[in-house]
Amino acid sequence: MKGFSATRCNPVHPLPMADPFLLKWNGAYYAFATGPAPDGRIFPVLHSTDLVHWTPLGGALEPLADPAARDYWAPEVIYLNGTFYLYYAVVAWGRDHHIRVATSQDPAGPYRDAGVDLTSRRHPWAIDPHPFQDEDGSLYLFYTVEFWDGRRIGSGNVVDRLVDPFTLAGDPREVTRPCAEWQEFMRARAEKGGVDWYTVEGPCVLRRGQRYYQLYSGGNYGRANYGLGYAVADHPLGPWSPWVPPGETEPGKVLRTQSPLLFGPGHNSVAPGPDNVELYCCYHAWQPDRAGRR
């Protein structure tokens, strides 16, 4: 997890915090991550008032009773009308990857699963949910699915309207999909039928004026090619255009591997700084010991 300031030494916490999501609430910060917590819950939560000193608060959510639900990924939280909603992905071995939602009255939790599978009716494989509320109050869910057509087969991001916090409209639109060679995950990936597999995932959306910016992660999260790109649009439902660096023909990265101390950065979130003006990008990266993404 990283911040853009000389007073904030990266990584900002010594323990693994993969897929970090940063929520600012009432002047304090809550960081959520993929993984187990020491109290037996999932999604470890950290608390801070300055983005420098962090206190572990335990896990956000009890694991599901379903024995097939083996892995839980990429929690993200949004506050709506007095309730905090935590969206997350579940890997149900032998079945699917799908997105669920849990609720709490406290930003740190504990959260209670709402018993809703948001995505399986339309997508047998969906991960990395990102809830977004526009200035007019309309709600959207960005998330990652698989694309089996086109020049580069692999995962990419879509967006759908949220009719309410528990229900998608059922009309997902393409946002970003593999479109550059740096997004290669693996050649001849056996678990995907031996195809060359590309990855775009981890959507994160900001509005600045009348423009929308979607940061996304691409490549192989365990390799040096993993990094962040972005796309722009005039509406959350698109159309979206990936950023292409001047003089180049393919979309590029805005954050990339710099050294063994910053290896494979990605899966970010963004939150206002202490002054509520400057924005901070929170992301994970590998350290030289390779002992988890931090």
pLDDT tens-place string over residues 91-150? 987 678 999 999 999 999 999 999 999 999 999 999 999 999 999 999 999 999 999 999
Place of tokens 């292409």: 244
d(CA 124, CA 155): 12
Place of tokens 């678990």: 191
CATH 2.115.10.20 assigned to domain 18-286? The reply is: yes
Is pLDDT at 3 greater than 80 in this prediction?
no
Residue 84, beta-bridge partner list: 79, 104
- Quickly state the pLDDT bin for 13 (edges 50, 70, 90): confident
Q: Is 243 left (phi over 0), alpha (psi -120 to 50) or beta?
A: beta
**Rounded to a whole number, what is the distance in angstroms from the first to the last CA of the chain?**
5
Read off the DSSP letter of residue 292: S
pLDDT tens-place string over residues 158-176? 999 999 999 999 999 999 9
d(CA 231, CA 241): 5
Instruction: Flag whether the pTM goes above 0.75.
Output: yes
pLDDT tens-place string over residues 227-264? 999 999 999 999 999 999 999 999 999 999 988 888 99
